[in-house]
Amino acid sequence: MRLLDEQGWGDADAHPLPGDASARRYTRLNKGGKTAILMQDPEGDVTLFARLARHLNQIGLSAPQIYAEAPGLLLIEDFGTGLLADLAKDPAQERALYILATEALIALHRHAPPADLPIATPDYLAGAIDLAFLHYTDAPDAIASASQALLPALRAFATPNDVMILRDYHAENALLLPDRQGPARLGLLDFQDALRGHRAYDLASLLQDARRDVSPEVAQACIAHFIQQTQTPEAPFRASLAVLGAQRNLRILGIFARLAKLRGKPGYIDLIPRVWAHLQDNLRHPELAPLRAVLEGALPHPDSTHLNRLKSTCPTP
């Protein structure tokens, strides 16, 4: 590969790493005791990733340093193997790790977002739940009523849109960097889909994780820490967490079902019951009563019959 040859990594040992829900592929390169990561993104904008990584580093957070780039390719810093999702399996470490991730958000929110980021307006967020009705279930006629039921809550609790939101902010997209200080101890990996949005969005993403259960005690400690450190009024912020959590989890239901149907990734279907549980927790908030009423008749419970039906849509290898 020309990029690697030019950077002196052409003869490095290459070890493919697990991918994510996107088409991106990652390879760890090892040469002479030094490592780097080759990121291949045939569908995405690697230039945007590089620009946002530089922004995050400039404001004192930790995104991978960009060593070289070419169309669809980035050679970037290797943050190692200290994935929060793995480290947090130890109950003795979970709280400190999640508080660190909360501190990184607080630090991020102290800085203005890049000026040209798209904005997560209430209308944009309401429209983005359509995937649940197109892929998790076949109920396109319910899209309009669900979006209209959610929109007033979004207008009340998903503004202002004044910070950078990373969007996929959870324990499998962050690594512990113990040699660094403060919020920079958290290595950030997935931010190329960033938007300008509400400051509760990424905290909802972190604590309502589709891939692992965050202990209720840790989740409440993080929320309390965020509120205390930012002097945020508690009741409206908790409403924002519920409203944005409901929006996110509805969208994730559709994304996971679509990944099975269009990309042949049935493993995501096994995560749906956890996403559903998060959604039900959110819908208990009084501000979401209108949405809850719509969803009760539109979305099937993820019992084994429905989950197996979703898996049956996977393309045959």
- What is the per-residue pLDDT for 43? 78
Q: Are residues 52 and 88 in the same domain?
A: no
Rounded Cα gap, residues 317 and 45, in angstroms = 29
Rounded Cα gap, residues 37 and 16, in angstroms = 10
Rounded Cα gap, residues 135 and 261, in angstroms = 8
Q: Are residues 57 and 118 in the same domain?
A: no
- When divided into structural domains, the chain yields a total of 2
Q: Are residues 156 and 298 in the same domain?
A: yes
pLDDT for 203-262, tens place per residue?
A: 999 999 999 999 999 999 999 999 999 999 999 999 999 999 999 999 999 999 999 999
- What is the per-residue pLDDT for 205? 98
Q: Are residues 111 and 7 in the same domain?
A: no
**CB within 8 Å of 283: residues ≥ 6 apart:** 246, 291, 292, 295
In a domain, 33, yes or no: yes
Which stretches in the chain have pLDDT values below 70? 19-21, 317
CATH of the domain at 245: 3.90.1200.10
- What is the per-residue pLDDT for 21? 62
221 DSSP 8-state letter: H
Smallest CA-to-CA distance from 117 within 65, 192, 47 is with 192
Q: Are residues 56 and 188 in the same domain?
A: no
**CB within 8 Å of 19: residues ≥ 6 apart:** 25, 26
- What is the per-residue pLDDT for 18? 80
Do the beta carbons of residue 232 and residue 196 sit within 8 Å? no
**CB within 8 Å of 90: residues ≥ 6 apart:** none
Q: Is the dihedral of CA 177, 179, 183, 188 positive or negative?
A: negative
**CB within 8 Å of 239: residues ≥ 6 apart:** 153, 156, 157, 285, 287
Do the beta carbons of residue 243 and residue 159 sit within 8 Å? no
Q: Are residues 67 and 213 in the same domain?
A: no
Characterise 8 by phi-psi region: left (phi > 0), alpha (psi -120 to 50), beta (else). left
Rounded Cα gap, residues 260 and 237, in angstroms = 34
Last residue of a domain, one of 55, 76, 97: 76
In a domain, 60, yes or no: yes
ω into residue 160 within 30 of 0, thus cis?
yes
- What is the per-residue pLDDT for 44? 75
In a domain, 316, yes or no: no
* CA-atom Rg of the chain in angstroms: 20
Smallest CA-to-CA distance from 110 within 62, 166, 51, 162 is with 162
Do the beta carbons of residue 159 and residue 198 sit within 8 Å? yes
- What is the per-residue pLDDT for 317? 64
Residue type, 301: H
119 DSSP 8-state letter: B
- What is the per-residue pLDDT for 305? 97
Structural domain span for residue 175 = 84-311
Q: Are residues 183 and 55 in the same domain?
A: no
Rounded Cα gap, residues 73 and 159, in angstroms = 35
